Amino acid sequence: MSRKSARWGLVIVFLITVFLSYFIKDLRFNYVFEDFFPVGDADLKYYMEFREKFENDNNYLLIGLENRPSIFEQTFLSKVDSLSEKLRQLEHVNSVVSLTTSERPIISQAGFYRLPYVHIEEPERYQQDSITIYQSPLLKGSLVSNDANAVAILLKHDELTSKKASDEFASTTLATIQSFNFDNYHVAGKIHAQKVFVSKLQEELLIFLSASLILIVFFLAVTYRSWWGVLMPLCVVLISALWILGIIGAFDKPLDFIMVLLPTIIFVVGMSDVVHIMTKYIEQLRRGNSKISSIKTTFKEVGLATFLTSLTTSVGFLTLLTASIKPIQGFGLFTAIGVFVAFIVAFTLIPFSLLLLPRPHISKKLIHRSRWFKVLSNLFLKVLKNARWIIWVNLILVVLSIYGISMIRINTRLIEDLPDDDPLKQDFVFFDENFGGSRPFELTVEANGDHSIFDLPVLHQIEHISQYLTDSMYAGSVVGPHVIVKSLNQAVNGGNSNAFTLPESNYEKRQVGKNLKRLLKRNDDIASIVTDDQKLGRISMRVGDIGSELSLSRTRRLRRYIQETTDPAIATYKITGTSNLIDKNNEYLARNMFEGLGIAFAVVAMIAGLLFRSFRMVIVTLIPNVIPLLAVAGIMGIFGVTLKLSTSIVFTIAFGIAVDDTIHFTSKLKLELDKGKSMLYALKSTYLSTGKALMVTSIILSGGFLTLILSSFGGTFYTGLLISLTLIFALVIDMTLLPVLILHFSGKTRVEKKRNEG
């Protein structure tokens, strides 16, 4: 390659960088709750049909307002009423329900009229009002807390599909609440949580990039102790990051809480490529070779291995395409692209730059006198002397890991990733403790045969299920067709709280039936509970954020209860809703993880098979990379780190990156064997040649991922910590167990066989 070609190469790299950097302006942050539904699931299809017939069960905000010692204070109730009215006037608001807007329907000979539950302007009636309120199942624990210290406002809003519209509405609503200067207020709901999450994502992306940059500069300065040894690798990772961010912007892919990991990963993976190149180049210069000769040797010996490691790392990320969740699929695809982007940048920018730069001043001291050579020589001898102990220690580690794995739990919460002192998490906990929860939970009931939803046999079944939901699932604010009929029965009985039951006497049945027909004709609100043909109804409630493990267990018990206590000839029931779909992700986590790892194992096995054409070497290559995964999984189980959406991707990512060391080691071993060396001599030469690069890259990779522990999201924290641990385990095992396995289980290589035959 001529200097002119190198200059043109740098110009092309520069132009591509400018072109892709243009699209970075199109990057946007987003956190769309519905994106985390399991793709292709039958329940998802049913839920989409449910939304078409009724409404999106997540288009609401819960507003909690505290007042101590009691909510029954005129100034407070007046402010609640004014806030309710002001919220109702906001754009995109469909309805607002609060204690001060709730009324009891009365049906008498004088006609139909409504009475307020609380008479705001008449404080002398508060005591009687409180008795009436706490006798109402529709209000107690739903709009008023059991201790009478808080009220809730339920605000339903339009479907807001764009981030801008959602953020503006959330901000306007929050500003409206703050304008009334309540002592304590709490807000929960999808659009509010999304706004908070996206804001945190933007902050943390900057933190991760800054921390990674500082860490990389530090390691490079310590390792190479020269300006070009710092600047050149830094240019590679920065340009790689610009390229992949530009590609993401060009494809209009939003950055969610998983995608913000990508720049950090590209930083550390790109640095791994650079370290292997730079270490080999310096080694060749130290041997007294010319600059051109050193460049050629470096790219001949490191090029194939680095390509293979980029391939295996990309495959590790591409296996995430087997996941059932779109954000994980997108993360896997774009990170895999980013890994090869880093490879392309490293193997164009570095050779072009090295060719144009003057030969660096490198100490020509003999290789065998260097500090690294002495350390690695002593370590290699200790590995050979303690081969049996190394095998036994790893066997014990595997046994302990399997024990830990048996303790792993699959569990996730909607806001578990946030720390306990985060205001958003505290708001959700407030609603869990005072109002039955903030997670929507839905059932549909379909009347069969000649029955309609409002037939008493159907309503009695619904009533029994509703009672089970309240008693066994601790659901709050259960609403369904039975509530409509019970409210009408209460109305025809003069508003008596004791009459909030299904009609029993013939008179009640006639009166309720007559008024129900009138209600169905003029009340559009019922359309959100019952379809026009009165064959399909909805039972809606809120539950606490108890975790998917417990939620799925309760859901299974609910299904059994329905199966055992209801007659399908009368009506059939189906669980649906957004919370059910999020919980169902747990059923896919383990399967997706094993599918991804299986694909990654197969690719690594294929590469090892092509390199050595030996089944034994395939096994030898896989074992050192399986043990670190088992060890980290065992640590998760022993220390109670649950397997969830964020931590489930750790294993495929870690395997794809950790196997790089093994590929570099075995690729170098093959080159040494092809030179006609014996297995022991080739193994020693490989150990001494690759040892420094493996250690340096592993430290940089681990340090880079450790920057993720700065995250306030628990999932991101554990992702960084667990991947770092996996890489450290992989390094230790590659430097100890791998040589032992190669020496004792590889058998004669093709090169040795040819030499013996000769």
Is pLDDT at 86 greater than 70 in this prediction?
A: yes
Residue 41, in any domain of the structure: no
At 138 the pLDDT is 87
**In terms of domains, do 180 and 259 share one?**
no
* H or E segment to which residue 726 belongs: helix 714-745
Average pLDDT over residues 492-521: 86
Whether residues 590 and 736 share a domain: the answer is: yes
Residue 459: per-residue pLDDT: 94
Q: To the nearest whole number, what is the mean pLDDT of the chain?
A: 86
Under 8 Å between Cβ of 561 and 487: no
Question: What pLDDT score does 642 carry?
Answer: 85
Q: Are residues 19 and 78 in the same domain?
A: no
The two beta strands, 476-479 and 536-543, are antiparallel
CA distance 651 to 723: 8
The CA angle 230-236-239, to the nearest 5 degrees, is 130
What is the distance of C-alpha 541 from the center of its chain? 26
Tens of pLDDT, residue by residue over 652-662, are 778 877 788 88
DSSP letter string, 615-675: HHHHHHHHHHHHHHHHHHHHHHHHTT--B-TTGGGHHHHHHHHHHHHHHHHHHHHHHHHHT
- From CA 541, how far away is CA 312, in angstroms rounded? 47
Q: What is the pTM of this model?
A: 0.79
Those residues with Cβ within 8 angstroms of residue 495's Cβ, 6 or more apart along the chain or in another chain:
104, 105, 106, 115
Closest among 717, 590, 739, 573 to 652, alpha carbons compared: 590
Q: Which of 178, 195, 212 lies at the terminal end of a domain, its last residue? A: 195
CB under 8 Å, gap of 24 or more: what pairs does 116-125 form? 118/72, 118/77, 120/74, 120/77, 120/78, 120/81, 121/74, 123/74
Strand partners, 64: 152, 186
| C-beta atoms surrounding 265 within 10 Å | 27
In the DSSP assignment, the letter for residue 37 is S
- What is the predicted pLDDT for the residue at 155? 95
Instruction: Look at residue 545 and tell me if it is in a domain.
Output: yes
Q: What pLDDT score was predicted for residue 524?
A: 61
Same domain, 391 and 359: no
Q: How many CB atoms lie within 10 A of CB 379?
A: 16
Q: How many helices (H) and strands (E) does the chain have?
A: 23, 10
Please tell me whether residues 604 and 740 are part of one structural domain. yes
Q: Which residue has better confidence, 143 or 108?
A: 143
Nearest to 315, CA basis, from 669, 646, 723, 599: 599
CA distances from 127 to 32, 133, 291, 560 (A): 45, 10, 93, 43
For 211, list phi and psi in degrees, rounded to 5: -65, -40
Of 549, 582, 615, the position where a domain reaches its end is 582
- Per the listing, tokens 């994980």 go with 328
Q: Look up tokens 């009334």; give the residue.
A: 180
Q: Are residues 23 and 83 in the same domain?
A: no
| Model confidence at 457: pLDDT above 90 | yes
Q: Per-residue pLDDT tens for 310-340? A: 888 888 888 888 887 888 888 889 999 999 9
Q: Which segment of 162-166, 590-594, 668-672 scores lowest on mean pLDDT? A: 590-594
pLDDT at residue 538 is higher than 80:
yes
Decide: 619 and 745 in contact? Cβ < 8 Å. yes
Report whether pLDDT(1) > 80: no
Q: Which of 218-222, 638-642, 659-663 has the highest mean pLDDT?
A: 638-642
Averaged pLDDT, 452-464: 94
Residues 413-444 pLDDT 10s:
777 677 788 888 899 899 999 998 888 899 99
Domain containing residue 74: 53-195
For residues 632 and 754, which has the higher predicted lDDT (pLDDT)? 632
- Greater confidence (579 vs 570) lies with 570
Exposed/middle/buried for 521, CB within 10 Å: 0-12, 13-18, 19+?
exposed
Q: Are residues 606 and 750 in the same domain?
A: yes
Q: Which of 599, 601, 623, 657 is nearest to 746 (CA)?
A: 623
Element (H, E) at 185: strand 184-189
Domain boundary among 525, 556, 582: 582
Question: Which residue is listed with tokens 């050149």?
Answer: 232
> Does residue 386 sit in the same domain as residue 441?
no
One-character DSSP codes across 189-258 = EHHHHHHHHHHHHHHHHHHHHHHHHHHHHHHHHHHH-SHHHHHHHHHHHHHHHHHHHHHHHHTT--B-TT
- Can you tell me the mean pLDDT for 126-134? 93
The whole-number average pLDDT for the span 613-642 is 88
Residue 634 and residue 544 share a domain: no
pLDDT (tens digit, 9 = 90+) per residue, 361-370?
765 554 445 6
Task: Report the pLDDT averaged over residues 589-599.
Answer: 77
Query: Mean per-residue pLDDT for 513-523?
Result: 80
Distances (CA, A) of 257 to 59, 213, 387, 450, 695: 22, 20, 44, 50, 30
Q: Any bridge partners for residue 153, and if so which?
A: 63
Contact (Cβ atoms closer than 8 angstroms) between residue 347 and residue 242: no
Helical pair 291-318 and 650-674, crossing angle rounded to 10 deg: 140
| pLDDT of 76 | 96
Indicate the pLDDT class of residue 94, thresholds 50, 70 and 90: very high
Provide the 8-state DSSP code for 38. P
The answer to whether residue 412 is domain-embedded is: no
Output the pLDDT for position 408.
87
| CA distances in angstroms from 25 to 248, 610, 654, listed in the order given | 11, 43, 31
pLDDT tens, residue by residue, 19-68: 999 999 888 876 666 777 777 788 888 998 998 899 888 899 999 999 99
Is 36 domain-assigned? no
Q: CB-side exposure of 36: number of CA atoms within 13 Å?
A: 24
pLDDT of residue 523 exceeding 80? no
pLDDT score at 33: 67
The total number of structural domains in the chain stands at: 4
Is-cis flag, bond preceding 69, omega within 30?
A: yes
Which tokens belong to 560?
């059994």
How confident is residue 700, by pLDDT bands cut at 50, 70 and 90?
A: confident
Q: Are 466 and 508 in contact (CB under 8 A)?
A: no
- Mark whether 746 and 601 lie in a shared domain: yes
Report yes or no on 203 lying in a domain: no
CATH code of the domain in which 279 resides: 1.20.1640.10
In a domain, 382, yes or no: yes
Q: Is the pLDDT of residue 758 over 50?
A: no
**Residues of the chain with pLDDT > 90: what percent?**
36
Are 611 and 625 members of one domain? yes
**Averaged pLDDT for residues 280-302:** 83
Does residue 606 lie in a domain region?
yes
Count, residues in the chain? 758
Are 81 and 149 contained in the same domain?
A: yes
- The verdict on residue 215 lying in a domain is no
